[in-house]
Amino acid sequence: MSSSFLKNVDDMFIAAAENIDLPEGLADKIRFCNATYVTRFGVRLRGKMFTFRGWRATHSTHHSPAKGGIRFAPNVNQDEVEALAALMSYKCALVGLPFGGSKGALEIDPSEWEPHELEKITRRFAQELMRHGFLSPASNVPAPDMGTGEQTMMWIADEYRRHKHEDINGSACVTGKPLDGGGIEGRTEATGRGVQYATQALFASEVELQGTGFAVDSLAGKRVVVQGFGNVGYHAAKFLSEEDGCLITSIIERDGVIRNEAGLEIEKLKRHFSVNGKLEGFAGGTFSAQNEGALEDDCDILIPAALEGVVHERNAAQIKAKVVVEAANGPTTSTADAILKSRGVVVIPDMYANAGGVIVSYFEWVKNLTHIPFGLMERRYEATGHRRLAQSLETMTGKAFPLSDDKAFTDGPQEIDLVRSGLAEMMSTAFQAISQTKAEGSGDQSLRDAAYQIAIKRIAASYQAIGI
């Protein structure tokens, strides 16, 4: 599937660019990947030398740094990395982040290596990236993706700081670090949180729900199928079920699918999955090892939160969901996208739906560069102001102020409050922009078409501003 991933992204870009009036050649300039670095490096492990292959593609540098995750997976390739890097450019432009787009990959099955071996391999990879200008707070800033997490990011940050100890901004060379290593509250949950906000935004929009048969604000009780129970799938399922009242009726993983028509208990399933590494054996649902076809399970909302290319021309007509929220990057092929569109299925496109991760990465990068935690200067000042306001109102009215025991009112905001508020703001603003662009276009535009158009126009505008 991944050999055509870049073509899928390109096809969707070309279709959207056709509707925009751009100077000759600019659309291609935006679409083509700027540079892809391929490295092969050796690491001595288990008494012999192993050679690893890695990539870092910088798709665009109209803003610096170029931003995007690094994935560790056994079957990655250059085409996939370039497609993912392109999606990063469009994603950042769409939600208004001052970043170019990049993506990296290492061809490795992380489960085959011990943590101390992974550390050695990751540090070697970081050295290669650094030496060739593909890692620094100013030029290229990786983050977690499939098969990597905060520990991987911490090794990279530490390696960078060892070599560039004079760089006071060294921590900002990578995001998604652990809290004690310069990370930010809410980064781990961020992509899943963004998926929740995107779904909420759709269900608050009468116009965009048209054709689905769903009423505005009817998210509670909706039946949801989630593919992938990694960081993104887990958090999306958790927030949608615990906070919005959705029923997670199927979760699909490598070893099979677990179903429960009354809604799976996500925290319990998470504990089972962490201990056993598989869904099988969970008492709170019915397990089947047959995960093929499970995307076609009856439901209202489908959330593919795993691999690219999983909704394709052979299953798109059988998808029962009326809404698809693309938590993964590139889960729908361009052919499948056209089929879903013709069937009236509303697709919340990846470049918007999963932008929560990079949005909170932006907050982390800014926090590292400013060297001061968010909210530190104003928290106490605001808290005092709120208390004074409450006391004044009590004096004026002679009545007790109803919120005087509410900690959210009397204390100033914590970092997590500010992160969630910033994320909600950016997700909501982007949804309104997509919806408005869609409304201004021809009648058959999808949310994806509109999202691409916004991204392309914004990147074009920054190139034009510098006279290209």
Q: Quote the least distance from Cβ 284 to ligand GLU, whole Å.
A: 30
Q: Choose, by CB under 6 A, the member of 2, 136, 291, 361 that binds ligand GLU.
A: 361
Q: Quote the least distance from Cβ 211 to ligand GLU, whole Å.
A: 29
Active site annotation includes 103? yes
Is residue 235 within 8 Å of residue 270, measured between CB atoms? no
Alpha-carbon span 239 to 258, nearest angstrom: 18
Alpha-carbon span 424 to 427, nearest angstrom: 5
Which x/- pattern, by CB under 6 A, does the window 69-98 give for ligand GLU?
A: x-----------------------------
| DSSP annotation of 34 | S
Is residue 48 within 8 Å of residue 31, measured between CB atoms? no
Interface with ligand GLU, residue 358, by CB under 6 A: yes
Which one, of 50, 52, 37, lies nearest residue 130 by Cα?
37
Interface with ligand GLU, residue 143, by CB under 6 A: yes
Nearer to ligand GLU, 301 or 358 (CB): 358
Candidates 48-56, 105-113, 303-311, 350-358; binding stretch for ligand GLU (CB under 6 A): 350-358
Peptide bond into 373 cis (omega under 30): no
Q: Quote the least distance from Cβ 360 to ligand GLU, whole Å.
A: 7
Structure tokens at 296: 């076609």
Q: Choose, by CB under 6 A, the member of 80, 82, 145, 150 that binds ligand GLU.
A: 145
Nearer to ligand GLU, 147 or 285 (CB): 147
Nearer to ligand GLU, 103 or 272 (CB): 103
Q: Quote the least distance from Cβ 361 to ligand GLU, whole Å.
A: 3
Interface with ligand GLU, residue 39, by CB under 6 A: no
Size of the site for ligand GLU (CB under 6 A): 11
Q: Sheet harboring 301-304: ordered strands across?
A: 286-288, 256-259, 247-253, 223-227, 301-304, 323-325, 346-348
Three-state DSSP at 189 gives coil
Q: Quote the least distance from Cβ 412 to ligand GLU, whole Å.
A: 27
Is residue 250 within 8 Å of residue 279, measured between CB atoms? no
Candidates 32-40, 64-72, 129-137, 262-270; binding stretch for ligand GLU (CB under 6 A): 64-72
Q: What amino acid is encoded at 367 in this protein?
A: K
Nearer to ligand GLU, 232 or 434 (CB): 232
- Considering only residues 296-335, where is the footprint of ligand GLU by CB under 6 A? 329
Beta bridge partners of 226: 251, 303
Alpha-carbon span 175 to 365, nearest angstrom: 6
Which one, of 135, 88, 170, 172, lies nearest residue 357 by Cα?
88
Q: Quote the least distance from Cβ 28 to ligand GLU, whole Å.
A: 24
The torsion angles phi and psi of 104, rounded to 5 degrees, stand at -135, 160
Q: Quote the least distance from Cβ 320 to ligand GLU, whole Å.
A: 27
Which x/- pattern, by CB under 6 A, does the window 226-245 give for ligand GLU?
A: --------------------
* Residue 384 CB contacts under 8 Å (≥ 6 apart), including other chains: none
- Considering only residues 365-394, where is the footprint of ligand GLU by CB under 6 A? none
Interface with ligand GLU, residue 175, by CB under 6 A: yes
H or E element that contains 387: helix 379-397
The per-residue DSSP string of 42-78 comes to EEEETTEEEEEEEEEEE---SSSSEE--EEEETT--H
From 91, 103, 222, 238, the catalytic residue: 103
Interface with ligand GLU, residue 68, by CB under 6 A: yes
The per-residue DSSP string of 339-350 comes to HHHHTT-EEE-H
Catalytic residues: 103
**Residue ranges binding ligand GLU (CB under 6 A):** 67-69, 143, 145, 175, 329, 354, 357-358, 361
